[in-house]
Amino acid sequence: MGMGLVHEFRKARRIRQSLHPEDGLALSRICKQIHDTEKALNLAARPYLNRCLHVCQGLCCRNVFLNEIIGFEDFVYILSLMPDLDVEIENRLKNLNRLYTADCIFLKDSRGPCIFPADIRPEVCITSFCIETPNASRQIGAVKWGFQKLAWSVRLCRTRTLFRKIELIR
């Protein structure tokens, strides 16, 4: 279970490092768009996020299967905008509980706040609420759409990289 998340992180790192400059710029643009939509979501969801902090106190970050919450595209996104988190993410992944649910390893001091800035969060972390969010549904949809575009773009970049390698062999 836990090794999957380590693999997804390392795969995201490899992809980011091996991108053709054009593809790197395209992915960076998409990541910047997601970043902008996450900022808008944080503004629209402020009352819901305050509830998370003051009522729930981060309950959704406790007792989780982390690899069901964070994945490959999330790591591509985070590493694109904050490459300096690379080593800290890898170090925290070493503490991942591989057998049972556990508190999120990305919480500072195991309690919080999250090591990821509020507007550079994995998709599920920033779009999931335990209550209805009518005032933020448009922004939630925009963030989810951004991550879908990122997933498609990563696949396209990987395909182009493969074709470039094939051309070099000839």
For residues 58-84, average pLDDT: 91
pTM to 2 decimal places: 0.90
Alpha helices in the chain (DSSP H): 2-18, 21-44, 46-51, 72-81, 86-93, 123-127, 137-169
Model confidence pLDDT, tens digit, residues 146-162: 999 999 999 999 888 88
Range(s) of the domain holding residue 72: 2-169
Q: CB atoms < 10 A from the CB of 101, how many?
A: 12
Quote the pLDDT of residue 64.
86
Q: Yes or no: say if 146 and 28 are a contact pair by the CB < 8 Å rule.
A: no
The domain total for the chain is 1
Model confidence pLDDT, tens digit, residues 9-29: 999 999 998 888 999 999 999
